[in-house]
A and B are shown apart, each in its own frame.
Chain A
Amino acid sequence: AQSVTQLDSQVPVFEEAPVELRCNYSSSVSVYLFWYVQYPNQGLQLLLKYLSGSTLVESINGFEAEFNKSQTSFHLRKPSVHISDTAEYFCAVIASGDTGRRALTFGSGTRLQVQP
């Protein structure tokens, strides 16, 4: 069974500082990896995804994540955060290939708190 570990439940950081949110997964099969963001009182929104190809993926708002197969990690980074990045961030995994399985397996989430 797949599992996702987000080691940090909360990450406080000052505005314009860099940040890294850690995600490790456990799976015996090839996977697709995702980061979702949840702003207060809103649903989960897809931030970025790794399906195949380049191991570095980027979002439109400056976040990036790098798939590291040997370390089974998919850490999320941003070089300079804004107050508006304050949210809950969820890492998720799904088995790749034609397994018929569509369910996302989520980590427990990391609350990013950007302070002025």
Chain B
Amino acid sequence: EPEVTQTPSHQVTQMGQEVILRCVPISNHLYFYWYRQILGQKVEFLVSFYNNEISEKSEIFDDQFSVERPDGSNFTLKIRSTKLEDSAMYFCASSWLVRSYNEQFFGPGTRLTVL
């Protein structure tokens, strides 16, 4: 069964460093998302991506964040200069159709720890 994969499973970085979180969405999906969950808090939407551009983003997704689909299979989230408060579990998701209620398939997450 196709699934969304994410690498690495755990990333530890120093404050101020750049990190890139990688995701491989399900191959025929067209819509891609990043969410995050700070420990003990809600899962929060960051950004959605369709047709090689950002479709929607939350107020969390500031200039420190960027997304890219570099090669037609990977979907990446870059944090330019990490802060302590960026420590969280980051989930990638993808969906096939563009209709709002189409199921979003989630990856297992990358746990980012900023020291």
Residues of chain A touching chain B, judged by Cβ–Cβ distance below 8 Å, are: 32, 36, 41-46, 49, 51, 90, 92, 94-109
Residues of chain B touching chain A, judged by Cβ–Cβ distance below 8 Å, are: 4, 31, 33, 35, 41-45, 48, 55-56, 58, 91, 93, 95, 98, 100-101, 103-109
Least CB distance from A75 to B in Å reads 18
Interface SS of A by simple majority? loop
Given contacts A43-B4, A44-B106, contact A90 B43 (CB under 8 A): yes
Q: How far is the CA of A101 from the CA of B107 in the complex (A)?
A: 21
A51 touches B108 (CB 8 A): no
Contacts of A90 in B (CB 8 A): 43
Beyond the given A32-B101, A44-B91, A104-B45, please list 20 additional residue pairs across the A-B interface where CB-CB is below 8 A. A32-B100, A36-B106, A41-B108, A43-B91, A43-B108, A44-B93, A44-B106, A45-B106, A46-B103, A49-B101, A94-B100, A101-B56, A102-B31, A102-B48, A102-B100, A103-B33, A104-B35, A104-B43, A105-B45, A106-B43
A103 touches B45 (CB 8 A): yes
Contacts of B42 in A (CB 8 A): 106-109
B55 touches A102 (CB 8 A): yes
What are 11 A-B residue pairs whose CB atoms fall within 8 Å in the complex?
A: A32-B100, A43-B4, A44-B106, A45-B106, A49-B101, A102-B56, A102-B95, A102-B98, A102-B100, A103-B45, A104-B35
